[in-house]
Amino acid sequence: MKNIQMVDLKGQYQNIKEQIDTAVIKTIESTSFINGPIVKEFSKSLEKYLGVKHVIPCANGTDALQIALMALSLKPGDEVICPSFTYVATAEVISLLGLTPVMTDVDPDTFNITADIIRPHITSKTKAIVPVHLYGQSSDMEGIMDLAKEFGLYVIEDNAQAIGAKYTFSDGTVKNTGTIGHIGTTSFFPSKNLGCYGDGGAIFTNDDQLAKNLKMIANHGQEVKYYHKVTGCNSRLDSIQAAILSIKLNYLDSYSSSRNKMAENYDENFSDIQELSIPKRQQNSTHVFHQYTLKIVPELRNALIKFLNDNEIPVMIYYPVPLYKQEAFSNYVNSDFKIPNVEQLCKTVFSLPIHTEIENSNQEFIINKVKEFFNKI
């Protein structure tokens, strides 16, 4: 049995080593390290894969969110609605730009925001919604887009954890997550389902004017070199990372398939354990299982994690603290502010290893140890 990891990046690399090494060496030999031809090639390949008109590569997923908001010409004090159960970057960029993050509850089973949750938070100051497709499946995008249309709001999809997932509308239309809202964003952080070997991110849109603005902002606010129309930033995906991603994009669907098989195996073995709740799948979304996240009765979580750690099984909690309880966002809420579902999720969720290189024997070991814990209580 191999050492169990949350993500086995070395094992994944070894399986595609020859292709990766060839692509990286070719890029180095070209000496086109910044905005080389491979960056455009990767962008076109990702556009084709996602079925979206424009992919704008950038330096990381946080930059992608920031640039997306900057392209909307929002003003200080404008409100942007986002879930409070997510990684900090979602709300961080809102605050950084002088906007007001309005942090909401989430559905307790899918972990994502819905139109019904968002609606009561809309005010005259609301300008945008940032749904997060948490753990690998889509938020309620049809409802959210209908709501945005009703109130004239922008929608920026945070697709950092769900690239490759597909959402089906009530009329049968199928779209990739990240291509439904006005703008979509993603991260190519190494542990992501489509990850590079450093930092990277991308922005998606079907709107030609927004694409023009996004490209300009990501390039110091310039369309023509040395002529700066707006205040922008310097956010680029370097050529070596683009070369790596070009190879890995060919494997993304097979990676998702492998993760789903692992998830189904976990489901089958854990569904009868009363103290656990296996991940709920949304009927109108596929799942790419960036994380396999269960819920456990809160009084048992620490004990289970310690037991698994003692048996050299890693466990993660995504996320232990609601965003509104983070000191960085304390000025946006009252000290006694609480959101019931999020409060409970932060006490009950935990994630088990799930990745493409895990051996069957390793997963069976994890499953057996989880069962052993519950058999003892």
> pLDDT per residue over 228-243, tens digit each?
999 999 999 999 999 9
pLDDT digits (tens, 9 = 90+) for 331-359: 999 988 989 999 999 999 999 999 999 99
Sorted by sequence, the CB contacts under 8 Å of residue 79 that are 6+ apart come out as 99, 100, 101, 102, 123, 125, 126, 127
In what helix (H) or strand (E) does residue 218 lie, and over which residues does it extend?
A: helix 208-218
Confidence of residue 1 (pLDDT cuts 50, 70, 90): confident
Which pLDDT value is given to residue 320? 98
Q: For 150-163, what is the mean pLDDT? A: 98
Residue intervals of the chain classified under CATH 3.90.1150.10 are 252-376
Confidence of residue 22 (pLDDT cuts 50, 70, 90): very high
Q: For 137-159, what is the mean pLDDT? A: 98
Query: Regarding the domain delimited by 252-376, which CATH topology (the fold level of the hierarchy) does it fall under?
Result: Aspartate Aminotransferase, domain 1 (3.90.1150)
Torsion, CA 17, CA 23, CA 28, CA 30, rounded to 10: 160
Residue intervals of the chain classified under CATH 3.40.640.10 are 9-103+110-249
- The CATH number given to 9-103+110-249 is 3.40.640.10
Asked if 53 and 281 count as a contact pair (C-beta separation under 8 A), the reply is no
Q: For 155-176, what is the mean pLDDT? A: 98
Torsion, CA 103, CA 109, CA 115, CA 116, rounded to 10: -90
Task: Show the DSSP H helices in 2-159 as ranges.
Answer: 9-15, 17-30, 37-50, 61-70, 89-96, 115-118, 141-151
Which pLDDT value is given to residue 78? 98
pLDDT exceeds cutoff 90 at 2: no
Which pLDDT value is given to residue 371? 98
Which pLDDT value is given to residue 222? 97
Which pLDDT value is given to residue 335? 84
Distance between CA atoms of residues 345 and 67, nearest Å: 30
Q: Is the pTM for the entire model greater than 0.95?
A: yes
Confidence of residue 39 (pLDDT cuts 50, 70, 90): very high
pLDDT digits (tens, 9 = 90+) for 251-310: 999 999 999 999 999 999 999 999 999 999 998 999 999 999 999 999 999 999 999 999
Which pLDDT value is given to residue 349? 98
Distance between CA atoms of residues 3 and 361, nearest Å: 11
